[in-house]
Structure 1
Amino acid sequence: MNCSSRLLAGLYVATSAGLSWTAVLEYRYGPMWAACLFAAAGVVPVIGVVRESVIGDQRRALAEWAGRAAATSGPEPDAAEDIVRAELDGACCERWWTSLGSDHDRSCPHRVPRSSAA
Structure 2
Amino acid sequence: MNHSGRLLCALYLATCGGLAWTTVLEFLHGPRWAAFLFAAASLVPVIAVVRETLIRDLRESAAGPRRPAPKAADEVVRGELEAACCERWWTSLGRDHDVSCPHGMRRSSAA
- So what's the TM-score if we normalise by structure 2? 0.73
Highest RCO, 1 vs 2 (Cα 8 Å, sep ≥ 6)? 1
Q: Distance in 1 between matches of 2:84 and 2:39?
A: 41
1:38-117 alignment, distance < 5 Å: 38-64=38-64, 67=66, 84=78, 87-88=81-82, 91-106=84-99, 108-109=101-102, 110-111=104-105, 113=107
SS of the aligned residue for 1:28 comes to helix
The alignment of Structure 1 onto Structure 2 pairs a total of residues equal to 98
What is the Cα deviation at residue 100 of structure 1? 2.5
SS of the aligned residue for 2:105 comes to coil
Greater CA drift, 46-55 or 99-108: 99-108
C-alpha offsets along residues 40-75 of structure 1, whole Å, 9 cap, x if unaligned?
0000000110011111111211221x52x7xxxxxx
For 1:76, the equivalent position in structure 2 comes to: none
Indicate the percent of aligned positions where both proteins have the same amino acid: 58
- So what's the TM-score if we normalise by structure 1? 0.69
Unaligned runs of 5+ in 1: 70-79, 114-118
Q: Which has the larger Rg? A: 1
Change in Cα spacing, 1:107 to 1:8, as seen in structure 2 (3 Å) is: closer
What is the Cα deviation at residue 105 of structure 1? 3.4
RMSD, aligned CA: 2.7
Unaligned runs of 5+ in 2: 68-73
For 1:7, the equivalent position in structure 2 comes to: 7
What is the Cα deviation at residue 107 of structure 1? 5.1
